[in-house]
Structure 1
Amino acid sequence: MSQSLPLSREVTAIRIPGGDSHLLPVGTEVVITQALGDTFTVAVPSLGGLFRIAGTDADALGRTAVTEAQALPEGQTLEEAAWEKLKNCYDPEIPVNIVDLGLVYTLEIAPDAEGKGSVISAQMTLTAPGCGMGPSIAADARAKLLTLPGVTEAQVAVVWDPPWGPDRITEAGKKKLGMV
């Protein structure tokens, strides 16, 4: 059974499945229900729901905070870094990242309007049209893309065409799910 712990400082968290931001005050009791990628899913009994806390705020949970890169590793393109970031996004109910689940359909990078950085636009889907996790997962993906050096704007749209199917899952995802 997971143990309740108080937040050591206030933290902004994303409500699951709604995707809206909430400020959780210092001392709020939470229970970590999942720690995958560089985010934490926590149950907040006082608010009656689940929230996602970014890895950069892990210290509020008594964990080591994830630091944001100031520059891309030598030889890595922004597109490669963006795909890697998206591999740290998880549906709170499925232990496979959204890239290996085949949920990300497109990823495009363009210069921003001022020519000082980049805009990343992505299209993704969900495993089922009735899934209420879309706003939460899209918000998490957007937040992760915005941590990349030089990215000034990120947009993540949830689309339904083409429909998702299990054939889109990568070999790594199938292994994690026990499908191979």
Structure 2
Amino acid sequence: MRVYVPLTLSSLAELHRTEKLGPVPLTAYAVTPALREWYLSGNEEELEYAALNRAAAASLRLVAAEPGVARRRVVAAADVPDRAAVADPDQALLVEALGEVRLTEPVPLHALASVHVDAAEAEPDVRAAADALGAADQGDDDARFVVDGAADHELLWYGVQEIDRLV
């Protein structure tokens, strides 16, 4: 199963150093039955893109929680055994949890397919979005607009062999 793991640049550096994502459980995003049901008309590529975007939104929350980290969203795409990615059936139909899975096994570096990272020019918008998350969560429409601004930036694709250059 392809999963998308939200990270920060500092956790990407840790992955590079230890050659694995962990400790478990880890939150990731994947094409789950609930995500398929939500995006009825989506083909497989569109569903994968939706899971990637869910992980990018989760990465923004990680960036906001870590004040000293670079203001860039990071998502690692990895192929894991189906048994290692478990969706919570109680959360599966909640919109905010669509596609969310818990990884029950550490993800070795060799299981990564790619890494997706914001370009440097996205940093001001990601910084503003991270700063506005709290107000957006409280229902502030202006803050929600700022948070959505980060999602306007497409994450860049990098091969696993390029991680050392990113960190």
Do they superpose with TM above 0.5?
no
Q: TM-score, normalised by structure 2?
A: 0.32
- Greater share of strand residues, 1 or 2? 1
Q: Larger RCO: Structure 1 or Structure 2 (Cα < 8 Å, ≥ 6 residues apart)?
A: 2
Normalized against structure 1, the TM-score is what? 0.30
Larger Rg: 1
